[in-house]
Amino acid sequence: MTFTKTTEQSSKYEHLEKMSVQELLSNINQEDKTVPLAVKKALPQIETLVTEIVAKMKLGGRLFYIGAGTSGRLGIVDASECPPTFGVSSDLVNGIIAGGDKAIRRAVENAEDNATQAWEDLLEQNINENDVVIGIAASGTTPYVIGGLEKCNQNKISTGCITCNEGSPLALTAKFPIVVVVGPEFVTGSSRMKAGTAQKLVLNMISTAL
């Protein structure tokens, strides 16, 4: 399969600067409507990963999200909402972002390109074979995330991913990949938009279904 980064392809909309506010909002909304339909196609993949997580949690395992930038922040948001929403322990679902906690608010240069740091971050959490690690990356090419999952695979730790590009290196690395193909963004390459929405919808499903 040829890997095409559809999230980076040119927007279907031209001359955004010439659109009225109403046109901008309407067109963004039109694109957003396609996201739940893309998520629907990935439901079997989501079910398979959730089933694996449930089995591991019954053995005392935990869930970890790892990501960089927007993807990392989305994982942290989902993890932080689990204790107040479901009354679970604060260490049952965990979010780790490239660059550490300071990267939650401000971009940390080159953090996403460090292919060994995610494993170091996971080791600090005493990661073990009962845990599950989900890598989140819209592009599916983030070295921090891919490197983390590769080390998990080598250490017999279950791995999943949430990405928006079919056949990406991340999807090929994860044992339980979730691929939601949302296509080009309204603003070319701005994966915080449709891709980010897709990731949030999938995260909602995963943590709720546990």
Catalytic residue among 31, 112, 150, 185: 112
Active-site annotation holds for 129: no
C-alpha span between 208 and 210 (Å, rounded) = 6
| Amino acid residing at 56 | K
C-alpha span between 150 and 66 (Å, rounded) = 13
Radius of gyration of the chain (CA): 17
C-alpha span between 168 and 132 (Å, rounded) = 20
**What single-letter DSSP state applies at residue 138?**
S
Asked whether 182 and 152 are in contact (CB, 8 A), the reply is no
Residue 145 to residues 58, 66, 81, 203: CA-CA distances in angstroms?
Answer: 26, 6, 22, 16
* DSSP-derived 3-state class of residue 63: strand
Active-site annotation holds for 81: yes
DSSP string, 139-199: SS--HHHHHHHHHHHHTT-EEEEEESSTT-HHHHH-SEEEE----S-SSTT-TTTHHHHHH
Catalytic residue among 23, 31, 52, 81: 81
* Residues taking part in catalysis: 81, 112
